[in-house]
């Protein structure tokens, strides 16, 4: 993508009512525009969504394909996509805005800062779809299912909240199973090394991101883990 197109998308994000940005990662504050600070922590449903539907986060959401798909499948859920790249978020935010879908919002920030923007017991579900697997062992703490990130999720999840992982990467799949097994606050509900080998158990697994489509074209097997927060 050209620099010009990125700048145009950044500018349009400022005008989209469903995009909230953390401009300085050393100062975890959300803004609706350059000077319009917002604080929805613990009150997303009250102040933004104006309903009492459960909230689902899509982490490293990219263009928000999964958030948009989940919103269509589950009209009584609120969706929030989180990504560090504003140019990616723009795509999903613009589509949701054009469809007048007020049950989706997007937050541009680092995922390790999410506990600054969501309160304990505020999130009912997390989707992690095709994240960077960080294959080098030295970078394993950067994986979105590492103990470090699971500890962050515990700060915002409700009791019995569900966490989903879809990935093509065998190393990340096995790593996540090991992390869940070692963490007493989570229990494994489902694991599948090749979800398209048989009929899908959950309709939401049929949703496909840009990266999943590329992986399928390359003949890769899509893996899925579903686990639950029990603390």
The residues assigned a catalytic role are 132
Tokens encoding 108 = 């541009």
Our separate counts of H helices and E strands in the chain read 6, 10
Tokens encoding 143 = 């994986």
184 by DSSP, 3-state: which? coil
Going edge to edge, which strands form the sheet with 157-167? Answer: 36-38, 30-33, 19-21, 104-108, 78-83, 55-59, 123-129, 157-167, 223-229, 186-192
Using CA atoms, how far apart are residues 152 and 112, in angstroms rounded to an integer? 7
Instruction: Give the angle subtended at the CA of 130 by the CAs of 143 and 95, to the nearest 5°.
Output: 125
Using CA atoms, how far apart are residues 83 and 114, in angstroms rounded to an integer? 10
Which backbone phi and psi does 87 adopt, to 5 degrees?
A: -65, -30
Using CA atoms, how far apart are residues 147 and 165, in angstroms rounded to an integer? 15
């Amino acid at each position: 993508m050209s620099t010009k197109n990125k700048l145009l998308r950044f500018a349009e994000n400022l005008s989209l009512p469903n995009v909230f940005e953390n401009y300085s990662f050393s100062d975890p504050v959300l803004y609706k525009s350059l000077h319009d600070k917002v604080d929805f922590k613990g009150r997303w449903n009250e102040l933004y969504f104006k309903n009492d539907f459960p909230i689902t986060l899509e982490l490293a959401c990219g263009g928000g394909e999964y958030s948009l798909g989940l919103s269509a499948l589950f009209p009584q859920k609120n969706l929030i996509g989180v990504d560090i790249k504003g140019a990616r978020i723009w795509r999903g935010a613009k589509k949701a805005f054009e469809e007048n879908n007020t049950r989706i919002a997007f937050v541009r920030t680092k995922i390790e800062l999410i506990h600054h923007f969501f309160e304990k017991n505020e999130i009912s579900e997390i989707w992690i779809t095709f994240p960077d697997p960080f294959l080098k062992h030295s970078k394993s703490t950067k994986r979105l299912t590492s103990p470090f990130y699971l500890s962050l999720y515990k700060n915002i999840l409700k009791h019995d909240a569900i966490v989903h992982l879809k990935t093509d990467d065998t190393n990340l799949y096995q790593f996540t199973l090991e992390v869940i097994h070692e963490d007493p606050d989570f229990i494994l509900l489902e694991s599948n090394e090749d979800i398209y080998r048989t009929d899908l158990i959950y309709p939401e697994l049929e949703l496909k991101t840009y990266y999943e489509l590329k992986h399928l074209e390359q003949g890769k097997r899509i893996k899925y883990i579903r686990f639950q927060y029990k603390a």
